[in-house]
Amino acid sequence: MQRIFEAILKGNLLEWANEVPKQGDRPVRVYVTLQEERSTLSAEFRRQRIVEILEKIAASNVFAEISDPVEWQRELRQDRPLPGRDE
């Protein structure tokens, strides 16, 4: 039976985070999957970067030529039939 344990790899050693597997003194085969590290950037820094990016997008006036957004969306939706619906 496969069981999952959480550990931190430090060099050649696994340091168990919570429950320690009971294997006695016998060697046990393990497979280790490395998790991506969580961002070390602060939430405030990330928020500020998102604000800056959104301000750049807003300043670019990407949708300036669209006079009626509702009509524009309707035209886009007519480009392809919706799955499971008859036209």
Q: What is the pLDDT of residues 50-87, one digit of tens each?
A: 999 999 988 998 888 899 999 898 888 876 667 887 65
Please report the pLDDT score of residue 22 as a whole number: 83
For the chain, the domain total comes to 1
Q: Which domain holds residue 67?
A: 43-77
Residue 57, token pair as written in the block? 């997008």
13-54 pLDDT per residue, tens: 888 888 888 877 888 888 888 887 776 778 888 899 999 999
Give the bridge partners for 7, in sequence order.
Answer: 16
- Specify the pLDDT at position 79: 63
Sign (positive/negative) of CA torsion 52, 56, 57, 59? positive
Is 61 a member of any domain? yes
Answer whether residue 17 is part of any domain.
no
Residue 84: inside a domain, yes or no?
A: no
What is the value of pTM for the model shown?
Answer: 0.36
The answer to the question of residue 64 being in a domain is: yes
- Let me know if residue 20 belongs to a domain: no
Residue 23 falls inside a structural domain: no
Burial 69-84 (b: 16+ CB within 10 A, else e): eeeeeeeeeeeeeeee
Indicate whether 32 belongs to any domain.
no
